[in-house]
Amino acid sequence: MTFPASQIALLINGKVAGNPDVAVSAFGKIEEAQEGQLTFFANPKYEDYLYSTKASVIIINEAYDLKQKVNATLIKVPDAYTAFATLLGKYQEIMQQQLTGIQEPSYISRTAKYGQQVFIGAFAFLGENVTVGNNTKIFPNVYLGDQVTVGDNTIIHPGVKIYHGCKIGSNVIIHAGTVIGSDGFGFAPQADGSLQKVPQIGNVVVEDNVEIGANATIDRATMGSTIIKSGAKLDNLIQIAHNVEVGHSTVIAAQAGISGSTKIGNGVMIGGQAGLAGHLHVGDGAKINAQAGLGKSLKPGAAVTSSPAYDYGQAIRSQAVARTLPEMEKRIKELEILVKQLISEKITS
């Protein structure tokens, strides 16, 4: 499909500078784009490519001051990166709307219900009383256990497994290999040293507009629900334990692990490989740096780093001081020598 610059500008509320009829049919990186492709410019590090790229159309910040002539047609917007993301989303939406129908072989129980314009890929399994909303795309080898519900316009990529009773909202994206609703890690120590399994009878609730990366695992609650609230974004390879709550629009990077019953507030940012102990409360807007080990609750807006985690500002100052330790040691030794000399002179006088 090809789109003229004028139509693209309408989609992202931009203004065309150049030929509005020039058409593009593909996207490209600014340093590699060819004629007939669209790209964007938002990072000043790539400024040289702005003037040399062969792209036909470039999305650019309207406030950017050009230093020389640009050959491509420009679409000027307040925020080029956001506009480009919006455009990619529109393009993906158009492409996915073409994907409908039920592929064979697949298994759909007689009690399962699905809406209009759905896609159910080959070897998918929909258990008893499953409900799938309108325009939802379920790719091959997806497993939806009994009584799972999935909202409208949701995309479930290949190999995702959603256990019985879990609830997935609308406009959710779940990437390949993720498991939602496996048992929480609950075992009761016995007098003889053995461990008795604690049945996990709750579920997982994923609210609207959540995105979950590939090969993530979200455990069902012992009782009640493990909850991923609306707008949260989870990266690949994340572990969310039983009864955890992840707040609205919270972002968690790859390989982080959240232990059981921890409550994470809204707008929290958690870096890669961070680990959070169980039964903690993380306040709204808190920031947990990559590889931090959090063993205590955080107040709203707090920022921590290191393991065990402590205040980010203090940690940075400590690191700065640590780099000067060899010089400080040298100065202390010189001072010790000087003090000894002064004491000796005082005694002799």
Mean pLDDT of the chain: 94
Cα atoms in the Cβ-side hemisphere of radius 13 Å centred on 39: 24
Q: Quote the DSSP letter at residue 221.
A: P
Distances (CA, A) of 119 to 101, 104, 142, 162, 223: 5, 11, 12, 17, 33
For the residues 104-116, what does the mean pLDDT come to?
97
Q: Quick check: 17 and 74 in contact, CB under 8 A?
A: yes
Residue type, 200: Q
Provide the token pair at 213: 């990366």
Residue type, 251: V
Whole-number pLDDT of residue 1: 78
Alpha helix stretches (DSSP H) within 233-284: none
Q: Quote the DSSP letter at residue 339.
A: H
Cα separation, 61 vs 83, whole angstroms = 9
pLDDT tier for residue 3 given thresholds of 50, 70 and 90 = very high
For the residues 83-96, what does the mean pLDDT come to?
86
Whole-number pLDDT of residue 95: 73
Whole-number pLDDT of residue 209: 98
Distances (CA, A) of 334 to 18, 331, 342, 347: 70, 5, 12, 20
The full DSSP string for 151-209 is -TT-EE-TT-EE-TT-EE-SS-EE-TT-EEEEPP--EEE-TTS-EEE-----EEEE-TT
Whole-number pLDDT of residue 347: 77
pLDDT exceeds cutoff 90 at 135 = yes
Alpha helix stretches (DSSP H) within 28-165: 47-52, 80-97
Please choose, from the candidates 112, 78, 111, the residue with its C-alpha nearest in 3D space to the C-alpha of residue 9. 78
Whole-number pLDDT of residue 306: 87
pLDDT exceeds cutoff 80 at 325 = yes
Whole-number pLDDT of residue 319: 81
Catalytic residues: 242
Residue type, 285: G
Task: For residue 337, count other CB atoms closer than 10 A to its CB.
Answer: 10
Q: What is the pLDDT of residues 195-214, one digit of tens each?
A: 999 999 999 999 999 999 99
pLDDT tier for residue 89 given thresholds of 50, 70 and 90 = confident
Q: Quick check: 174 and 153 in contact, CB under 8 A?
A: no
Please choose, from the candidates 200, 111, 107, 206, the residue with its C-alpha nearest in 3D space to the C-alpha of residue 156. 206
Cα separation, 93 vs 4, whole angstroms = 18
Mean pLDDT check: name the lowest of 89-98, 167-176, 273-282, 339-348: 89-98
Q: What is the pLDDT of residues 290-317, one digit of tens each?
A: 999 999 999 999 999 988 887 888 888 8
Please choose, from the candidates 294, 297, 293, 270, the residue with its C-alpha nearest in 3D space to the C-alpha of residue 282. 297
pLDDT tier for residue 349 given thresholds of 50, 70 and 90 = low
Determine if the pTM surpasses 0.75.
yes
